[in-house]
Chain A
Amino acid sequence: MLTILFDGVAYGMLLFVLASGLSVTLGLMNFINLAHGAFAMVGGYVTALMMDRLGAPFLLTLPVAFLVPALLGVVLERTLYRRLYGASPLDQVLFTIGLVLMAMPIADFLLGNEAHQVNLPAWLSGSLSVYGVGISRYRLFIVAVCGVIAAALQLFLVRTRFGAQLRAAVDDARVANGLGIDVDRIFAVAFAVGSGLAGLGGALAADVVGGIDPSFPVKFLVTFLIVVTVGGSNGILGALFGALLLGVLDVAGKYYIPSIGAFIVYAVMVVTLIVRPQGLFARGDGR
């Protein structure tokens, strides 16, 4: 029972770290970024390749898995994404699907289509036994890391001047500009953070989902979207709670009633959207 609860929380945290970047780009910046998974894939590849080819320690690769997609994000944001901030959701969907379609063959071409594994160091593999409850070390690690990320993001976006400026810029870019806020820079930084988080998520998730391969951006696209939708699209805490809820329900459902398997996640999303179209943990404004 406790093991199941813990697994659910750990799975939820994993969902959160995969989706947190999206809750920045989609949630805060209002950009339907279906290419989120491509950035996650880049992060996963960075970690897998650094460990495999350079023999770098796992922990050291994580910051790089954040930085590389973040830089890539800035470049793409400056050249392409920024032109579509005011565009219709349809344009954003098409554009980012296009990016995904391009990213997958590129990855296949450069790195082959077999899954690249992240092999965890010894201190993270196996499980601990706490009062008879088996707890996987790596899942514990994920819970800890995700907790830190969630807290840091929340502080960053709510407590800092940057966070306030970002929210102002999203609400009304022109007025924000008039107030002397450098909207371009704010958006670029926010996008970089979103992409970097995606990369970090990919790196952390690689082990649990069976490695990183070129189809990664599509395989988990729907999952990302569900998490952000259920959580409500304007806030890190929403995504966190949404992810935890989904994680616990999914794991418990599969354990107790395996026959309904994948239904639960989809059903939770649809029901949530019927009851609260803005997501469970959204502010009341209808955006």
Chain B
Amino acid sequence: MTAKRWTLAAALCAMLAASPALADENTVTVGLILPMTGPSASTGKQEKAGAELYIHEHGDTVAGKKIALVVKDDTGAADVTKRLAEELVGNEHASVLMGFGLTPLALAAAPVATEAKVPEIVTAAATAMITEKSPYIVRTSFTLPQAAAPMADWALENGIRKVVTVVTDYGPGVDAEKWFGGTFEKGGGMIMQKIRVPLKNPDFAPFLQRMADDKPDAVFVFVPSGFGAIFMKQFVERGLDKSGVRLIGTGDVTDDDLLAAIGDAALGAVTTHHYSADHDSPENKAFVAAFEKANNGMRPNFMAVAAYDGMGLVYKALEKTKGDASGDALLAAMKGLSWTSPRGPVSIDPETRDIVQNIYVRKVEMKDGALFNVEFATIPDVKDPYKASKR
């Protein structure tokens, strides 16, 4: 009996001590921290698939180094993200941290990146100020001002004068509200009402009713990836589409991942974003085909492409440093890198470490029997306007 109990205690200690085989110096470990369970799990799934696809396509060796991808679930809790980041850097000698599904999660890892001098590639969280929190943060997703400001220009050019904005009440939502609203009013438009919807809210109906009573030309909406379906359905259910109110927003609301599920309710919505699965380029056609093949037909969305590019950024930086995986060398190599992503030409702004990319104006249309965000105008090389405004 006692022996058994000893085994129990020993097993617990062994589990505690168990860290994966220490990386040798020819391995570069990339720690991918994502919410794989909980409400943001779909982000995690897309990102993981995107990063894995890149390795699958490009081989796991670059500049003489073997790439090891370690995926960790932070459950969407900031303190867990922080611990995982510390352990990945401290125990598994990760040369790069990647992922970060929500703003607080990206911020939680920032001090680790700074202290350990390890690049933190943000492939999801989109609040503009994130990259200012550590000189080691690089972003391959997008910032909300980047997507929202061009929408205001398009709306003004297309005869929309009175708008109600609806955003989810947290960092990215406030960013979207501010940058759409600011740009729109500067151009002579009028924001009739700014509605902020709580993050946890299954029912948009009362907010939509408030909106309908104002009779605006258009409704500008930002909801996090995943909430678009409820919003769109209730928008149509309330008959707002028939009363001539146009639906505009950033691409989050017509997320490629959800579009099929939203169904016809999404038809006609005009959004601005940096990626659509329908983007017409040979790179994207190959990317979408490979992604769908590897993931049971799941359509890649902007999260998947950001993680794919995040991995790509690591590869390209390693090629540039000829295999030197020290943090400062990688970071220096990443700054200013440019390449052709499935979303189009992109580059890393050497000053802000944010991505510079085309923003596309798209409309939801039926194409070959499925719904897509069909791009019809391009605003080339958009930098994050938030940081540009501070200069």
Contact = CB atoms under 8 A, between A and B. Distances in A.
**Do any beta carbons of A and B sit within 8 angstroms of each other in the complex?**
yes
A214 B227 CA distance: 15
Given A7-B209, A127-B237, A210-B227, A117 B263 contact: yes
Contacts, number: 102
Contact of B203 (A11, A117, A258): A11
Interface in B220-247: 226-227, 229-230, 233-234, 236-239, 242
Nearest to B44: A113
A161 B157 CA distance: 70
Contacts of B45: 112-114
Interface string A246-272: 000011111100100110000000000
B61 interface: no
A114 B239 contact: no
Contact of B202 (A210, A215, A252, A258): A210
Given A4-B206, A113-B41, A114-B258, A136 B237 contact: yes
Interface residues of A, number: 41
Given A125-B236, A134-B239, A219-B39, A258 B209 contact: no
Given A7-B206, A7-B209, A134-B238, A215 B38 contact: yes
B231 to A, nearest CB: 8
Contacts of A258: 195-197, 206-207, 210
Interface residues of B, number: 39
Contacts of A220: 202
B229 A211 contact: yes
A181 interface: no
B207 A127 contact: no
A266 to B, nearest CB: 11
21 contacts: A7-B206, A7-B209, A11-B205, A113-B41, A113-B42, A114-B261, A115-B258, A117-B261, A117-B263, A126-B236, A126-B239, A127-B238, A136-B238, A207-B233, A208-B202, A210-B230, A219-B39, A250-B206, A255-B210, A261-B169, A261-B201
| Those 8 A-B pairs whose CB atoms lie nearest each other, nearest first | A210-B230, A254-B206, A117-B261, A255-B206, A261-B198, A210-B229, A127-B239, A209-B202
Interface of A: 3-4, 7, 11, 104-105, 108, 112-117, 119, 125-127, 134, 136, 138-139, 207-211, 213-215, 219-220, 223, 250-255, 258, 261-262
